[in-house]
Amino acid sequence: MAGAAPMAEQRVSRWYFGGLASSGAACCTHPLDLLKVHLQTQQEVKMRMTGMAMHVIRTDGFLALYNGLSASLCRQMTYSLTRFGIYETAKKHLSQGSQGPPPFYQKVLLGAAGGFTGGFVGTPADMVNVRMQNDMKQPLAQRRNYSHVLDGMYRVLREEGLKKLFSGATAASFRGALVTIGQLSCYDQAKQLVLATGLLSDNIFTHFLSSFIAGGCATFLCQPLDVLKTRLMNSHGEYQGIIHCAMETAKLGPLAFYKGFVPAAVRLVPQTVLTFIFLEQLRKYFGIKVTT
């Protein structure tokens, strides 16, 4: 009688790997995120991405491209840690006892739930991030001059109240759901389909290709809400809510909802690629060993 087939061993992510991977990616892509915020908050299109970058460097120096980095990292360790943790934990639970990964619709539902929750949890850090990035555009008398993310959140809480700290939470939560569907659900599905062809193995090129597809999907899905979220978080009280903000933005034309789409893609696609490359390396070397 033939012996039983040897059991294969693989590694799966720990729940916090997504937050660490996203933070590493944010350190690389933060200047692109800052330029995206500057472009989205223009009332009229005056500068493109390269022009805005040169303007920031000439006005405030090269390090100004990293304004708000502490807030960006705090956002990733709240927003991304939460969404990755929920998605990976729930996916692992659904995969137990099954013959393969969960179907795509279940991945979409998990991505939506994880992203919605993460978007809400990460709103305070995200709002401070937007304000710190956009502060240099304000007149000197109107600058908030937050020292770092904790100083920013404390001052918003003290000066404007808890409600303001969660300004834009609705848009951020729905945006989180959409971008997580685009990133996590589409990455898993793209990787599954690529591996199923048998042409590529589970290597870094497969991770790059799958994450590039996921980044494009995420940008397309979330850009309109991303514009509204940025406007709400950077407002001085001129908007009464997300619907009012959407109506005011619509007066600028339908393309206003996709203002900054190219820089958003230039930022989000590399951020997605780097996040999943870092995640796969964390999984490979530090993941939990399981047998299949």
Q: Per-residue pLDDT averaged across 180-206, rounded? A: 95
Q: Per-residue pLDDT averaged across 204-209, rounded? A: 96
Q: Where are the domains of the chain?
A: 20-291
- Residue in 191, 231, 245 with CA at minimum distance from that of residue 42: 231
CA gap 172, 170 in Å, rounded? 5
Reading the block at residue 149, the tokens are: 């993310």
CATH fold of 20-291, please?
Mitochondrial carrier fold (1.50.40)
Q: Per-residue pLDDT averaged across 123-134, rounded? A: 86
Which residues are CB-contacts of 277 (< 8 A; sequence separation ≥ 6)? 204, 207, 208, 211
Give the least confident one: 13-22, 101-110, 147-156, 248-257: 248-257
**What rounded mean pLDDT belongs to the chain?**
86
Question: With bands split at pLDDT 50, 70 and 90, how would you rate the model's confidence at 181?
Answer: very high
Reading the block at residue 76, the tokens are: 């990733």
The residue to which tokens 């007066």 are assigned: 251
CA gap 279, 287 in Å, rounded? 10
CA gap 256, 87 in Å, rounded? 32
Encode pLDDT of 15-71 as tens digits.
Answer: 899 999 999 999 998 888 888 777 777 766 677 778 888 888 888 888 888 888 888
- The answer, yes or no, to whether residue 217 has pLDDT greater than 80, is yes
- Tell me the H-state helices in 76-185: 81-95, 104-121, 123-134, 149-160, 162-165, 169-180
Which residues are CB-contacts of 290 (< 8 A; sequence separation ≥ 6)? 9, 10, 11, 12
Residue 236 φ then ψ, to 5°: -110, 35
Q: Per-residue pLDDT averaged across 254-262, rounded? A: 80
Encode pLDDT of 93-110 as tens digits.
Answer: 887 766 778 899 999 999
pLDDT of residue 5: 47
- Cα four-point dihedral sign 31, 36, 38, 44: positive
Residue type (1 letter), 29: T
CA gap 207, 274 in Å, rounded? 10
- Residue in 46, 49, 41, 126 with CA at minimum distance from that of residue 80: 126
CA gap 115, 175 in Å, rounded? 8
CB 114 within 8 A of CB 124: no
Among the ranges 68-72, 172-176, 187-191, 286-290, which has the highest mean pLDDT value? 187-191
* Element at 227 (helix H, strand E): helix 204-233
pLDDT > 90 in the chain, percent: 44
pLDDT of residue 1: 44
Q: Per-residue pLDDT averaged across 228-240, rounded? A: 79
Instruction: Record the pTM.
Output: 0.80
